[in-house]
Amino acid sequence: MAETKQVIVKVKRQAGPKEAARWEEFSLKWRPSMNVIICLRDIAENPVTHDGKKTTPITYDSNCLEEICGSCAMLINGKARMACSALVDQLEQPIRIEPMSKFPLVRDLAVDRQFMFESLKRVKAWIPIDGTYNLGEGPRVSPEVQEKGYPLSNCITCGNCLEVCPQVNEHNQFVGAAIISQVRLFNMHPTGAMNKSERIAAIIGPGGIQECANAQNCVHACPKGIPLTESIAEVNRDAWKQALLSWLVG
């Protein structure tokens, strides 16, 4: 029985951002512990569709295969998730695979997440430790802050939280939950806190935290279980305080 078991996969293909999209169906041989990346690899090995037509291997991003690099996010049966942790046995067939819709398409399942990296730069999602001279040791990080910060540092910039957010779309430039959570992470670090007001200023700029409408989809979609709604609330509190002060006292 097991030898004849098939996995039916439908992939949305598009040769480039301006080309027309089409669906291709594949039937693959089932294997134990098969995940969606394995399906895409099997197709690459033998790029022949369900009805025997020869086609090209599918373009997609993946690297670590253990939900740590963040590159393999795509829509699987209509939901944003990591392909490497999407087990075939837990998916309804035919498995529909599409590229994420909120990022510019490169080809097939590969999208360009540059927007997220630009946003991280905008909010200075780093801790400046370099100077023209030795700055010496920084302040110690209390265990409490370490404990709160660690889960936030797990973000893999996969973009799932942006993909599922109703406020991230072509009408506005909302940076999305991941970026706000990074603002919280770097503001909570004692050295990072030295640039806190600059990060807050950036996050109350165009496309900033104000665009969040509290649908809270992000926290359900995050593969790393990051407490995004808590991060957004925390940054929101700092944000209105800073906005109010700057408005009252300049």
Partner 1 sequence: MSSTATRPDTSYLLRKLHSFTGILPVGAFLAEHFWSNSAALVSSEKYNTVSQELQTIPFRLIVEWGTIFLPMLFHGGYGIYIWLRGKSNVSAYPWVGNWLYTTQRYTGLIAFAYIGWHLYTERWLTHGRSTYANVAADIRNPWYLTFFVIGVLASSFHLGAGIWNFLCKWGLAATVKAQQAAGRLGALVGVAFSLVGILIIISFRYDWHPFSVYLPNK
Task: Check binding of 118 to partner 1 (CB under 8 A).
Answer: no
Q: Least separation, in Å, of the C-beta of 226 and ligand FES?
A: 14
Pick the closest to residue 33 from 110, 88, 71 (CA basis).
Answer: 88
**Which listed residue (105, 158, 168, 209) binds ligand SF4 by CB under 6 A?**
158
| Cα–Cα distance, 152 to 183 (Å, whole number) | 10
Residue 197 binds which of ligand FES, partner 1, ligand SF4, none (CB < 5-8 A, kind-dependent) = partner 1
Strands annotated E in the chain: 6-14, 21-29, 73-76, 79-82, 95-98, 105-107, 110-111
Site for partner 1 in 178-237 (CB under 8 A): 197-198, 200-202, 204-206, 208-217, 220-221, 227, 229-230, 232-237
DSSP character string of 101-113: SSS-EEETTEE--
6-14/21-29 β-pairing: antiparallel
Helix (H), strand (E) at residue 180 = helix 177-188
Q: Least separation, in Å, of the C-beta of 66 and ligand FES?
A: 7
State the residues that interact with ligand SF4 by CB under 6 A.
155-161, 177-178, 181, 221-224, 226, 228
State the residues that interact with partner 1 by CB under 8 A.
78-79, 122, 164, 166-167, 169, 171-172, 197-198, 200-202, 204-206, 208-217, 220-221, 227, 229-230, 232-240, 242-243, 246-247
